[in-house]
Structure 1
Amino acid sequence: MSHSFHRFWLKITAIVVGIFGPVFTLGTRAATAEPARFTLDLLSWPLDGRTTFTHPDTQFLAALTGGFLVGWGVMIWLLATSVYDHAPEAVRRAVLLGVLSWFVLDSAGSIASGNASNAVFNVAVLLLAVGPLWRPARA
């Protein structure tokens, strides 16, 4: 892969990570919680409607999660657009290790909490987020 394709893919990674932020932030209010509730219901397969966003602790965790995901997505975007040309391999490794760290902890926690189906969904997100970043770009 070329450096320009890696830079492009980093923007895809930023969107893949950051897109979940607004969805979960919507879960902080009952009137806007349906996208977050549905997403969590889907990720804890099967779709059974048992997932709710009515408890204040869940709403607070949704706010934190949404903020972290948007912030992480923005950071990856800025690494792609402002830093990549100066340190392409360091940016690639940083994003790759960040995504792999998310994958391991999120999947382990999902399995431990009885939501192994999310670990399966995580494989798809991992493959999409990492794409060609597995390998260094050619000069």
Structure 2
Amino acid sequence: MTHTTATRALLIANGSGIVFGAIMVLSVLLGSPAPMNFALDLIYLPLDGAQHLSDGPTSLLTAVSGGIMLGFCVMGWLVTHHIYRRDPSLGGRIIGVSFFTWYVSDSAGSIAAGAWFNVPFNSLFLALFLVPLAMNRSTRQQTATTKA
């Protein structure tokens, strides 16, 4: 994978996180919880309509965590665009460590909350970031080896 392709993939991955975070916040702000109701029901299998976004603490935590996700992915977008693009080693470390930290803490919390099915979703989201980083790194190392 070329550096340009890896950068584009990371921007797309961050964009998807921005969209999902915005959906979380907007579901509370607009009082239209259908997308979050489906996501909660899916995470707490089976799909039976038993889980739903409720008023009060659940809505608050949805808005807060959606806002955190939105901000985190905006930061990831900016790191990708301004740092990773010019310095893939530094940018890759920042992105990789940050998303791995999110993955471990979010997945552990999901399991503790009985939402084990969130771990595969987290794994897919993490792969959106780590695959381009890993593929670009191996390509850069091969290019450096052949030039030496």
Superposition TM-score, scaled by structure 2 size: 0.82
**Offset at residue 45 of structure 1 (A):** 1.8
Structure 2 unaligned runs (5+)?
144-148
Given the superposition, is the C-alpha separation of residues 4 and 83 from structure 1 closer, same or farther in structure 2, using an over 3 Å criterion? same
Task: Assess if the C-alpha contact under 8 Å between 1:45 and 1:118 holds in 2.
Answer: no
Q: What residue ranges of structure 1 are gaps of 5+ in the alignment?
A: none
SS at match of 2:118: helix
Shift of 1:68: 0.9
**Secondary structure at the counterpart of residue 117 of structure 2:** helix
User: What is the CA–CA distance in structure 2 between the aligned matches of 1:120 and 1:24, rounded to whole Å?
Assistant: 19
CA change 1:77–1:30 in 2 (3 A) is: closer
CA distance, structure 2, for counterparts of residue 62 and residue 88 of structure 1: 33
Which has the larger Rg?
2
**Aligned-partner Cα distance in 2 for 1:3–1:30:** 40
Which residue identity lines up with residue 5 of structure 1 in the other structure?
A: T
Q: Please give the per-residue CA displacement for 1:60-118, whole angstroms capped at 9, x wherever unaligned.
A: 11111111111111111112222224322111111111111111111111111111111
- Could you tell me the TM-score, scaled by structure 1's length? 0.87
User: 2 CA distance for matches of 1:83 and 1:106?
Assistant: 26
**Contact 1:21–1:69 under 8 Å retained in 2:** yes
Rounded to whole Å, the distance in 2 between the matches of 1:122 and 1:86 is 28
C-alpha deviation, 1:29, in angstroms: 4.7
